[in-house]
Amino acid sequence: MHSKKLEDISNSNLTRISSYLSELYSSDVARFRLSDMVKGADITRVEAFSVIEYLIEEDTLKPLVEVRCPICDQREGIYKKKSDIPSRDRSEFCGHSFNTRDQSNWEVVYSFEGGLNSDFFRNSVIV
């Protein structure tokens, strides 16, 4: 039985989401954003977030914090916890002054943890 969070998502959308995430995993994509999933699987943000939340609970996905320079958009680092983000005041790439601890420079990304072992991927159609 799947989480209540998934009950409002149509079977066709769940199948598209499962296929999209399986493709990412098989192509060795290290991380993805919620917006990538919305666009790639052609679903709503609510549907994407519900599935991501479920897969985090299943230990299939792990949320990470990605810090990017607001000027050059280069990734300054990826961290497991907010407290791991170092306090720096300038981009290592373009030299622009910005605070790496400012949440406006953060984005949550998701990585696969331990493979696609969730029931979500074992069932081609979720009921």
Q: 70 and 50, same structural domain?
A: no
**Lowest mean pLDDT segment, chosen from 43-52, 100-109, 115-124:** 115-124
pTM: 0.83
Q: 54 and 2, same structural domain?
A: yes
In a domain, 52, yes or no: yes
Note the pLDDT tens digit of each residue in 48-86. 999 999 999 888 899 999 999 999 999 999 999 999 999
In a domain, 38, yes or no: yes
Domain that includes residue 103, residue range? 60-113
State both tokens at 70: 């607001």
State both tokens at 5: 């969070």
Asked if 51 and 9 count as a contact pair (C-beta separation under 8 A), the reply is yes
Gap between the Cα atoms of 123 and 51, Å rounded? 14
Number of structural domains (the chain) is 2
Q: 65 and 49, same structural domain?
A: no
